[in-house]
Amino acid sequence: MKTLTVGERRIALDKDGYLADLDDWSADVATALATAEDIELSPEHWEILELLRAFYDEFQLSPATRPLIKYTALKLGPDKGNSLHLNRLFKGTPAKLAAKLAGLPKPTNCL
Amino acid sequence: MSTLHVLSHSPFGDSRLASCLRILGTHDALLLCGDATYALQPGTVPFDTLQANGCKVLILAEDAQARALPIPDWAEAIDYAGFVELSIQHDKVNSWL
Amino acid sequence: MAKSLLLISRQAPWSGPGAREALDIVLAGGAFDLPIGLLFLDDGVFQLAAGQHAKVVQQKDLSANLQALPMFGVDDLFVCADSAAERGLAVDALALDDLNVLGAADIAALIDRYDQVITL
């Protein structure tokens, strides 16, 4: 099994690099996951990660790209709820990558 | 518009047939295959319901034959070629999975 | 123009994979912007009962998942009035907003409006 080392902790990941246990997530874990993806988390990243966790809390699933854009537009306005902004932050695959950094399961509706 | 409704589950202890008959459109037809052909068992509620309904009923002949079920005069027996033909004749096929 | 699809979901939520599979098809279709409708028929209306607890039967929370339908662009949601009435569910107390309540004749017309239909 893959693991991620954060300080003293070793955190279990699934085969695609997503957290095996959603409860393992913390800001430090997100930062370590981002580093592994060559991303330095900015405030703009963090607000999307928090948004994703709110989405998961509400709907109990990880959004595909379209619902992620729609939800972001609903909560943060159209300036941020668009594919350009999200693609720029998350290397062109916002649904998969942002879900990973937010500690959510891999979106199942991204075929 | 017409829909071919395809049923393959036994009508005994299953609500598909009753539910399907309730929402059947005027131009629709009903095809019974597999265990759904048990609806042809004479003297049963599904048999009487279908007979009284008067809708167009098609039967996949080999499935009825395998189960020793007679084809009543209000239904029409077809083979797989007929099944394909029917699927083309209708605007869509609704398989009750 | 993509072909429109009506998904008829008629399985109770915790009896097997049917209800989950129906929702997965609809969510996947919505994610690809397909014109898609979802009708709750027969025991499928039990998916809409309020106050369910998926966790106690070790299941994923289907009720919460259903709330995501508008986010996936699925706004054409229908429930069979007779199915709900037979099962003692009041259509104005179901756990999903903006449901269209349809009688049997309305459902035949609904199926006619779509290019394709899948019943699970």
- Residue type at A18 in one-letter notation: Y
Residues of chain C with Cβ-Cβ distance to B24 below 8 Å are 108
Residues of chain B with Cβ-Cβ distance to C119 below 8 Å are 94-97
* Catalytic residue ranges of A: 110
Please, how many CA atoms are within 13 Å of residue B17, restricted to the half-sphere of its CB? 26
Using the beta-carbon criterion (under 8 Å), do B19 and C42 form an inter-chain contact?
A: yes
Using the beta-carbon criterion (under 8 Å), do A63 and C68 form an inter-chain contact?
A: yes
Alpha-carbon distance of B64 to A62, in angstroms, equals 47
DSSP C72: G
Residue B24 has pLDDT above 90, yes or no: yes
Interface test with chain A among C59, C72, C74, C96, by most A beta carbons within 10 Å: C72
Report the residue count for chain B.
97
CB A4 within 8 A of CB A37: no
Q: How many angstroms separate the Cα of A22 from the Cα of each of A16, A66, B75, C1?
A: 14, 23, 57, 40
DSSP B62: H
Tokens for C105, please give them: 């004749």
Q: Which stretch of DSSP H or E encloses residue C83? A: helix C81-86
Q: B96: nearest CA in chain C?
A: C119
Residue C120 has pLDDT above 70, yes or no: yes
Residue C35 has pLDDT above 60, yes or no: yes
pLDDT category, A9, cuts 50, 70, 90?
confident
Burial B42-79 (b: 16+ CB within 10 A, else e): eeeebbeebeeeeebbbbbbebbeeeebeeeeebbebe
Chains A and B touch (3+ CB pairs under 8 A): no
Contacts of B8 (CB under 8 A, 6+ apart): B32, B33, B34, B35, B36, B95, B96
Range list of H helices, chain B = 16-23, 45-53, 61-66, 80-89
Residue A110 has pLDDT above 70, yes or no: no
pLDDT category, A109, cuts 50, 70, 90?
low
Residue B95 has pLDDT above 70, yes or no: yes
pLDDT category, B69, cuts 50, 70, 90?
very high
Residue A54 contacts C, CB cutoff 8 Å: no
**A26-70 pLDDT tens trace:** 999 999 999 999 999 999 999 999 999 999 999 999 999 999 999
Using the beta-carbon criterion (under 8 Å), do C67 and A58 form an inter-chain contact?
A: yes
Considering only the beta carbons, identify the residue of C107, C118, C120 that sits closest to B23. C107
**C39-66 pLDDT tens trace:** 999 999 999 998 888 888 888 889 999 9
Residues of chain C with Cβ-Cβ distance to A64 below 8 Å are 27, 31, 72
Residue C14 contacts A, CB cutoff 8 Å: no
* Site of tokens 């079920």: B69
Q: What is the CA angle A39-A62-A3, rounded to 5?
A: 50
Alpha-carbon distance of B27 to B22, in angstroms, equals 14
pLDDT category, A6, cuts 50, 70, 90?
confident
Residue C76 has pLDDT above 80, yes or no: yes
Q: B22: nearest CA in chain C?
A: C104
Burial of residue C110 (CB within 10 Å: 0-12, 13-18, 19+) is buried
What domains lie within chain B, and their CATH numbers? Answer: 3-96 (3.40.1260.10)
Give the full edge-to-edge strand order of the sheet including B56-60: B75-78, B56-60, B29-32, B3-7, B92-96, C116-119, C5-9, C36-40, C76-80, C100-102
Residues of chain B with Cβ-Cβ distance to C114 below 8 Å are 92
Q: Is the dihedral of CA A46, A49, A55, A56 positive or negative?
A: negative
Residue A111 has pLDDT above 60, yes or no: no
Using the beta-carbon criterion (under 8 Å), do B23 and C117 form an inter-chain contact?
A: no
DSSP B10: -
Closest-CA residue to A92 (of A70, A75, A110): A110
Q: Supply the ipTM of this predicted assembly.
A: 0.86
Query: How much is the average pLDDT of B15-21?
Result: 95
pLDDT of residue C32: 87
Residue ranges of B 56-95 with Cβ closer than 8 A to chain C: 91-92, 94-95
* Mean of the per-residue pLDDT values of chain C: 93
pLDDT of residue A82: 92
